[in-house]
Amino acid sequence: MPFDPTILTQLISTKMPYGKYKGTLICRLPISYLEWFNRKGFPEGKLGMLLQTMYEIKLNGLENLLDPLINNSL
């Protein structure tokens, strides 16, 4: 499946809808929270895909990929 570049935009604009970090942008979630989801299981659907993508980005030290998008959205 080809990569959809709009996913990166969604990571900087979608807020966590519930839980300890409700209202926090997905890109701002701490790695420890994403690691918890990785152990327990990511939610189904779009939210789960976004959380899993952010987990992989942070796990691999690639957060700087989002910087241009964040800077352009300010």
DSSP annotation of 30 reads -
Q: Answer for the pair 47, 29: CB distance below 8 angstroms, yes or no.
A: no
Write down the pLDDT at residue 1.
Answer: 59
> Could you tell me the pTM of the whole model?
0.89
Write down the pLDDT at residue 32.
Answer: 96
Write down the pLDDT at residue 20.
Answer: 94
Write down the pLDDT at residue 4.
Answer: 79
Name residues whose C-beta falls within 8 Å of residue 2's C-beta, 6 or more positions apart in sequence: none
Burial class (CB in 10 A: 0-12, 13-18, 19+), 50: buried
Low-confidence ranges of the chain (pLDDT < 70): 1-2, 74
Write down the pLDDT at residue 22.
Answer: 98
